[in-house]
Amino acid sequence: MSALFSGKKEGVFVKKETSSVRSKKKSDGVLAAGVSGRSLSASILLEPVITEKAHAVNVQNKHVFLVAIRAKKDIIKRAIEELYGVDVLKVTVSVMKPRKRVFGRIAGMTKELKKAVITVKKGQSIDLFKGV
């Protein structure tokens, strides 16, 4: 009976078959383009950051976006170029870690966010307020 559970068969080791979900790679090492029927740019770029500080860096041809946590720089660059039709020179990312927040007697955590600062080619711009 012990040979039944040990993985050995008549003195020869039999390799057990294991299927690992982690061994399956996703396309481009991050979110797949077809996740829940959304395009690559829609699954990577969550929303533009519209604050005074983000608006101030627009003069330097820089634009700030919230992006998916697992998004890499090259994927963010490709998504911006695909969606807005501009030439991206540089992508800088920063991860905002979750922080504790208390609202009355309810304690919780903020979400973990990733911001991407996109530098576009001089003379080009991303028009976020078109039609507003």
What structural domains and CATH numbers belong to the chain? Answer: 26-120 (3.30.70.330)
Q: Say what the pLDDT of residue 47 is.
A: 93
pTM: 0.68
Mean predicted confidence (pLDDT) in 38-65: 91
Q: Say what the pLDDT of residue 12 is.
A: 55
| Ordered DSSP codes for 18-85 | ---GGGSPPGGGS--TTGGG--HHHHHEEEE--SHHHHHGGGGTEEEEEE-TT--HHHHHHHHHHHH-
Q: Say what the pLDDT of residue 21 is.
A: 47
